[in-house]
Amino acid sequence: MAEQMSDDDERQQSPPSDLDFTSNKARTCIVTGSVSGHTEFQSPYPDQVLGNVLENVLHFLTSRRDRNTASLVCKSWYRVEALTRSELFIGNCYAVSPARATARFTRVRALHLKGKPRFADFNLMPPDWGAHFNPWVLAFAKACPWLEKVYLKRMSVTDDDLATLAESFLGFKELVLVCCDGFGTSGLAIFVSKCRQLKVLDLIDSELSDDETDWILCFPEGESHLESLIFDCVEFPINFEALERLVARSPSLKKLRLNQYVSIGQLYRLMVQAPQLTHLGTGSFSPSEIAGQGDQEPDYVTAFAACKSLICLSGFREIIPDYLPAIYPICANLTSLNFSYANITAEQLKPIISNCHKLQVFWVLDSICDEGLQAVAATCKELRELRVFPVDAREDSDGPVSEVGFLAISEGCRKLQSILYFCQRMTNAAVIAMSRNCPDLVVFRLCIMGRHRPDHVTGEPMDDGFGAIVMNCKKLTRLAVSGLLTDKAFDYIGRYGKLVRTLSVAFAGDSDMALKYVLEGCPQLQKLEIRDSPFGDAALCSGLHHYYNMRFLWMSSCRLTHQGCQQIAHAMPRLVVEVIRSADEEEMDVCVQTLYMYRSLEGPRNDAPKFVTIL
């Protein structure tokens, strides 16, 4: 059960910060009566002593995987581990019921909960599929009134849920909503007005409705405890004057990410109020349309120079490149720079990146071309993570980055651990070079846009390139493959990808053997995402030995049949097998459009919509 509710993610989570639960039971000797009428003292029972020792030891055990292992030693370890766990991670909200979770983990102060699978981000899942936060917040309101932190990803959250959070947990401090939906500004208004100890409110890539309620204005008056406020995903204007007053009375504010409706002039006013910021999302990074023609421009350079603690910079949602020199003073201190919304050229990037010697995380659009990536490689020797996104994601577009920039990164950034790279052209030679130059890679996601594209120099499949990655990068846990791939590539993955936990496949493989290689050869595989590949029932059945060890399997637009999926459901009763059709499709076809399969302690869920059939 611990494994169901505490699966590790690819990224290391920070250690739990609330380890102040310490049992006082049996700390002293037990007073009893004796036959002589005198009081005598007896030592605590051995089990109580062991429990006390275990509690003190387990408080220092912060890794979820280590805690899972400890809970499996014996019944007493299982019990004590649950009592000392203050941070609970549940990788699939349907893997366990809220009642079971709260019954076992009674001292939780931080809840991390995930809902829909990742392919929901690409409109491959109907919007009303499920993943409702409501049963969870109601259960924790009854069982864990001391809950302080909630992190939700791809969950459906309503305004009522936000109200329940605010009203049920008097000491609530942190709310992070990533890729969530279902709520609006009226729910936010209630939440922020009642959470007087709120330290973190992060809305990241979430969809919320504009109910014409001024939620910024609803923060309580007086000094604020805010340390992080992120709302760059909000797609409508906010009350800037109220925001400015809030920032001014938040002396502990370290992270602030603004939406596109905050102009560079307004950004200046906020920076003057909060020079202590370490993380800043700049908003639009362009002037307001209502700014007067004769108005004198603020001294943006001085404002940025005054933020001496700034190490993480993002935003630039409607950038005017003429303002980019304003950030020059802080480049030398930056460890993270996100230009994934900034359509800038290599020439505009070079004066910035040439001073970013400490940079460890860099997100950027492919508008910087191979030349811009070469500039990154020449300067950023400490780079650990690189993501290159496409300006134009169409399959037939002319991508401005290629194996040239990719190769430059591998040669210049030898400490690279994670890469996401969208391109139209790639070669096996460049990928092989990456595997040799960057052996510490943990995450490798190469997205060659356009289906079945081979090595554009030799015309050969990309098998050898991806084979080199799994052979030479011994720490690899996450892999996304693309381009023209035969079964040979999957043979490599099965033979050498022994630590791979997450695998994403699109438009790849020749036959069922490809999937069989992976399922039989990757013992650590937790999450498998497949779309538009020639894998059928035989491939699906080859994983019967492993599915109970996985968090989920997603297959869409493959060659599965209803009968094949039914066979899996019969063979593995503790596995939930969902067949998903489009919302406007009334009857199930013989061929399965989408299969979503996951382990669960509870069996089939009771909130499945009509377009979901649970076998």
Question: What pLDDT digit, counting tens, does each position of 515-574 carry?
Answer: 999 999 999 999 999 999 999 999 999 999 999 999 999 999 999 999 999 999 999 999
Q: Tell me which DSSP letter residue 132 carries.
A: B
Give the start-end residues of each E strand in 518-563: 527-531, 552-556
Q: How far does CA 180 lie from the centroid of its chain?
A: 12
Tokens, residue 229: 């406020």
Residues belonging to the chain: 615
- In this predicted structure, the answer to whether residue 477 has a pLDDT above a threshold of 90 is yes
Which residue in the block uniquely carries the two structure tokens 């030349």? 371
CATH (residue range 469-482+493-614) = 3.80.10
Could you give the percent of the chain with pLDDT greater than 70? Answer: 90
CA distances from 388 to 212, 214, 434, 481 (A): 36, 36, 15, 16
Predicted TM-score (pTM) of the model is: 0.89
- In this predicted structure, the answer to whether residue 264 has a pLDDT above a threshold of 90 is yes
Asked if residues 72 and 78 have their Cβ atoms less than 8 Å apart, the reply is: yes
pLDDT of residue 314: 97
Question: What pLDDT digit, counting tens, does each position of 378-406 carry?
Answer: 999 999 999 999 999 888 788 899 999 99
Grade residue 496 by pLDDT with cuts at 50, 70 and 90.
very high
Asked if residues 509 and 490 have their Cβ atoms less than 8 Å apart, the reply is: yes
Burial of 293 from C-beta contacts in 10 A (0-12 / 13-18 / 19+): exposed
Domain parsing of the chain, residue ranges: 48-82, 469-482+493-614
Asked if residues 577 and 613 have their Cβ atoms less than 8 Å apart, the reply is: no
Q: How far does CA 365 lie from the centroid of its chain?
A: 20
Record: fold of 48-82: Monooxygenase (1.20.1280)
pLDDT of residue 290: 58
Kindly write down the DSSP assignment for every residue of 168-234, as one continuous string. Answer: H-TT--EEEEES-BSEEHHHHHHHHHH-TT--EEEEES--EE--S--TGGGSPSS----SEEE-TT-
Question: What pLDDT digit, counting tens, does each position of 480-495 carry?
Answer: 999 999 999 999 999 9
Q: How many CB atoms lie within 10 A of CB 169?
A: 23
Question: What pLDDT digit, counting tens, does each position of 403-452 carry?
Answer: 999 999 999 999 999 999 999 999 999 999 999 999 999 999 999 998 99
pLDDT of residue 586: 66
Q: CA–CA separation, 22 vs 83, rounded Å?
A: 9
Q: CA–CA separation, 580 vs 578, rounded Å?
A: 6
pLDDT of residue 588: 66
Could you give the percent of the chain with pLDDT greater than 90? Answer: 79
- In this predicted structure, the answer to whether residue 40 has a pLDDT above a threshold of 60 is no
Q: How many CB atoms lie within 10 A of CB 43?
A: 10
